[in-house]
Structure 1
Amino acid sequence: MTLPSEAPNTLGNAIGEARSKWGWFVALGVLLLIFGVIAFGNLVIATVASVYVVGTLMLVAGIVEIAHAFGVKDWSGFFWWLLSGLLYAIAGFLAFYNPLLASAVLTFLLAVSLVASGLLRLWVGLKNRQASGWGWIVAAGIVTALAGLIIALGWPINSLWVLGLFLAIDLIFQGWTFIAFGLALRR
């Protein structure tokens, strides 16, 4: 058990160890940045790669749930776990079988989620007008809902590139973050 007096030493040791590895953070950042630029270069392939990742996760989750179903003792529990696992596994298989259809479905779900999330933020912000910073919540809600609407208005044609665009942007931001973190550790 760690004593409270030992906690700063543990934190100091962790920071010292991370500082000694600053180059690895920068290297990972550069690699992620390169992957992000490659993804930007071909958004359709990046979209298909995203679909394959989601499909793999769903297939694995489905297999795990099917295996779990056989560990459930009562019939109704077994049936629901088996059904859930089968649906996950089928959805994962379909992502591999027809990645373009899967990208259309995922893009539509993304659009719906963004609109719903944006409207919820807008509602929360307006409901809390007496709180400091409520305008930022409203602004974030408007931007998020508009992003969802723009995606929905371009659907299904934009489903060929939207997921790839999100992946490319995420990889680039992660890359810059790791580079900045590694360089900060170096100082």
Structure 2
Amino acid sequence: MEKPKPIDLQQMREAMLSFLQQHWKIFLLEGLIFVILGTLAVIAPHVSTIGITLFLGWLLLLGGIVQLVRSVGLMTMPGFGLWFFIGAAQTAVGYYLIKNPTQGSLTLTLIITVFFVIEGISKVSLALMMRPLAHWGSMFFTGITAICFAFAVWLGWPETGYWVLGLFLGVNMMLLGWVLIRISLHHKTTS
């Protein structure tokens, strides 16, 4: 068996630099689109929250139906009952999100809020373990931020559940857009 070649990071960086310099306009356009879409999501977070919920609902519903059809078609397969159960659960959750997108957005927001609490506590714990190392404070900060976010969502519950997912999507898209714009403009000036 032939040994895989090690990745030459310098060559990869040079290729990336060349590509960015040649195609900076594409990255600029993409960045502008993300900023516009993100701004729209921030302006109308309730609409984008419902959109996220419906999109996820359709993905789950269609995926669940595919699993149900496959499991019924292969009933003699070991674990048939578990495969069927997974498909039925996925189909039911997808249908629920599509049928009740407002209630579904509340459920999704609650799940994400619990995740942020767990993530925040974990990051604070890791930061304290890393404490003498460089940048442990950044890890600590992100942990505290996640906990504060969860607390803010919880304080405004249930109203925050109707718009917070859309707001997050919008802010995330805007940040990505600005990063792409900065990268593209930097590489325009160096080409």
Establish whether TM, by shorter chain, passes 0.5. yes
Q: Offset at 1:57? A: 2.6
Q: Specify which of 102, 121, 124 is matched with residue 122 of structure 1.
A: 124
**Structure 2 residue aligned with 1:74:** 77
TM-superposed CA distance for 1:61, in Å, is 2.9
Aligned to 1:182: 184
- The CA deviation at 1:130 is 4.3
Is the alpha carbon distance of 1:4 and 1:85 closer, same or farther for their aligned partners in structure 2, counting shifts above 3 Å?
Answer: closer
Q: Distance in 2 between matches of 1:103 and 1:34?
A: 23
Unaligned segments of structure 2, at least 5 residues: none
* 1-structure distance, mates of 2:29, 2:118: 38
After TM superposition, give the deviation of residue 136 of structure 1 in Å.
3.2
SS in 2 for 1:95: helix
Secondary structure (helix, strand or coil) at the match of 1:155 reads coil
Code of the aligned partner of 1:63: I
- Corresponding residue for residue 107 of structure 1: 109
Q: Which consecutive unaligned segments of at least 5 residues does structure 1 have?
A: none
Distance 1:61 1:83 in 2: 13
Q: Distance in 2 between matches of 1:3 and 1:138?
A: 38
Cα distance, 1:13 vs. partner?
4.7
Q: 1:36-63: per-residue Cα shift (whole Å, max 9, x none)?
A: 1111211110111111222233223323
Residue in 1 that maps onto 2:29: 27
Query: 1:59 corresponds to which residue?
Result: 61
Q: Which moved more, 1:18-27 or 1:109-118?
A: 18-27
Q: Name the aligned partner's letter for residue 52 of structure 1.
A: L
Q: Measure, in 1, the Cα distance between the counterparts of 2:83 and 2:125.
A: 36
Q: 1:22 to 1:89 in 2, by over 3 A?
A: same
Residue 28 of structure 1: how far off its partner (Å): 0.9
Q: CA deviation at 1:90?
A: 1.6
**Equivalent position SS for 1:48:** helix
Partner in structure 2 of residue 92 of structure 1: 94
Deviations 1:114-171 (A, max 9, x none): 0111111122223444444433333322221121121122221111111111011011
Identity across aligned pairs (percent)? 26
Q: Which amino acid aligns with 1:25?
A: F
Q: Does residue 83 of structure 1 match 2:85? A: yes
1:18 shift after superposition: 3.6
Shift of residue 84, structure 1, vs aligned partner: 0.7
The residue type equivalent to 2:177 in the other structure is: G
Could you tell me which residue of structure 2 aligns to residue 50 of structure 1?
52
Q: Shift of the alpha carbon at 1:5?
A: 11
Q: Is the 8 A contact 1:112 1:152 kept in 2?
A: no
Q: Evaluate the alpha carbon distance shift between residue 156 and residue 19 of structure 1 in structure 2; reply closer, same or farther with a 3 A threshold.
A: same
Q: Distance in 2 between matches of 1:141 and 1:12?
A: 35
AA of the residue aligned to 1:74: M
Alpha-carbon spacing, 1:135–1:4, altered in 2? closer, same or farther (3 Å): closer
Post-superposition offset of 1:9 = 6.2
The structural deviation recorded for 1:33 is 0.6
Which residue does 1:134 correspond to in 2?
Answer: 136
